[in-house]
Amino acid sequence: MRLKSINASNFRNLKGEIAFSDGLNVLFGANGEGKTNWLEAIDLLATTRSFRTAKLAEAVNFGERLAIVSGQVADSPEVTRKLQVAIDGSAKILTINDKKETAARYLGHLFAVRFTADELEIVRATPEARRRFLDAGITGLHPPFVQVAADYSRVIRQKNSLLQTARDEGWELERTAESLEPWNEQLVRLATHIHKARVRFVERLNEVLERKLFGREEIAIRYVSSLEGKGDLSAFAELIRERLKLRVQAELVAGHALIGTHRDDLEITFDGRDLRKFGSAGQQRSALLILLLAEVAVFEATRGEYPLFLIDDIDAELDYERIAHLLEFLAGKTQTIVTTSKESFVERFGVGASVFSISNGAAETL
């Protein structure tokens, strides 16, 4: 899987096209010139989402309504396809070879693993960030999973709305339980699918995890269900159905759903200690890279090809020793696209790479 070129129109400050090489590509320029915007455009082309804003309309150039990001993707020299994401106000239009497609059919044609400052939330912040990491990885392997996750989120929103109404209007427990039943049945089916997919994905990450790629500490990961210790997780559907029945009163009092995979987490430890609480900044960065490289390996084992690897502001988050180790590890595997504002990085790692100077949103080959 290779991104041969990308073209952007009215997306942030970007203009023109970049033609990438198969190996290391460096986007070099001063801060504020558009390096990260290009990386965001690449990720948008792969995921249909922005890693910087939940509202894509905010990425449309000021004064414009329509922004377009398109790219030529190749699985082999003989097979290429055109992907395009158009942002038209609040609407998002996805096309493959100029044919409109759903998100489930679009996703999977280009997959990118990214390392950015925001991605550090996976190892530093809330369980939600770690669940997003898992779900994005699963979707990369099995694009229809995006619909399962979307359906689950819809059911939880609708269930929460019902519970809030029931609490505010003082519904009796029996009426609440009866009204919740259709939503809970959907929740059981979707949560079971999500639970099994996440457990299997974490198992596969563990199979390829380079636990000591950086430093001496041993990294370990484990999927933690919110139902752990409540019963037999191997019979998940029966267990969650039972817990939903038992917790109706508690959910009524709370006014929102208390049972489900939206409360699960990914445990990340080093030498048995919680990385989020006790890990240094360097250890957290290393752990994130180890997780991302495991995701790359799982993708390659499943799809028979490597994803793109995107790194924003590479030398702000990693020292040169880690960078050298990382780039050596990726060489000959992934198409890697990094941004930097430092000439010293270009001088040290730019030999044999494609280097592009970014100025006012436009790219020029150096």
User: Which has more confidence, 77 or 219?
Assistant: 219
Average pLDDT over residues 18-26: 96
Structure tokens at 193: 């699918």
* Predicted TM-score of the model (pTM): 0.90
Q: Is the pLDDT of residue 77 over 80?
A: no
Domains of the chain, with CATH numbers? 1-111+307-366 (3.40.50.300), 124-298 (1.20.1050.90)
Any idea what DSSP says for residue 210?
-
Residue 214 has what pLDDT? 59
In order of 119, 142, 208, 213, 224, the CA distances from 221 in angstroms are 17, 22, 12, 15, 10
Structure confidence at residue 233 as a pLDDT band (50, 70, 90): very high
Residue 189 has what pLDDT? 98
Structure confidence at residue 216 as a pLDDT band (50, 70, 90): low
260 and 271 Cβ atoms separated by less than 8 Å:
no
Q: Is the pLDDT of residue 215 over 70?
A: no
- Give the span between the Cα atoms of 140 and 295, in whole angstroms: 10
Residue found under tokens 């990386």? 39
**Burial code of 290-322, b = ≥16 C-beta within 10 A, e = fewer?**
bbbbbbbbbbbeeeeebbbbbbbbbbebbeeeb
Average pLDDT over residues 100-129: 92
Q: Of the ranges 63-72, 229-238, 241-250, 312-321, which one carries the lowest mean pLDDT score?
A: 312-321
Q: Classify residue 137 by burial, with Cβ atoms within 10 Å: 0-12, 13-18, 19+.
A: buried
Could you give the 3-state DSSP secondary structure of residue 67?
Answer: strand
Describe the strand order of the beta sheet including 112-115 as a list of residue ranges: 112-115, 308-311, 335-340, 24-28, 354-359, 362-365
Residue 76 has what pLDDT? 75
Average pLDDT over residues 314-319: 83
Structure confidence at residue 316 as a pLDDT band (50, 70, 90): confident
Q: What is the mean pLDDT of the chain?
A: 93
Q: Compute how many other C-beta atoms are within 10 angstroms of the C-beta atom of residue 18.
A: 25
Residue 181 has what pLDDT? 96
Q: Of the ranges 17-26, 125-134, 267-276, which one carries the lowest mean pLDDT score?
A: 267-276
- Give the span between the Cα atoms of 317 and 286, in whole angstroms: 10
Q: Which of 61-65, 111-115, 188-192 is modeled with the greatest confidence? A: 188-192
Residue 69 has what pLDDT? 97
Residue found under tokens 């497609």? 101
Main-chain dihedrals φ then ψ at residue 180, nearest 5 degrees: -75, -20
69 and 6 Cβ atoms separated by less than 8 Å:
yes
Rg from Cα positions in the chain: 22
Length of the chain: 366
Q: 242: part of which helix (H) or strand (E)?
A: helix 236-246
Residue found under tokens 């199979």? 207
36 and 49 Cβ atoms separated by less than 8 Å:
no
Average pLDDT over residues 177-187: 96
Q: Of the ranges 174-178, 265-269, 285-289, which one carries the lowest mean pLDDT score?
A: 285-289
Torsional sign, CA 125, 126, 132, 133: positive
Q: Is the pLDDT of residue 54 over 90?
A: no
Residue found under tokens 């100029």? 98
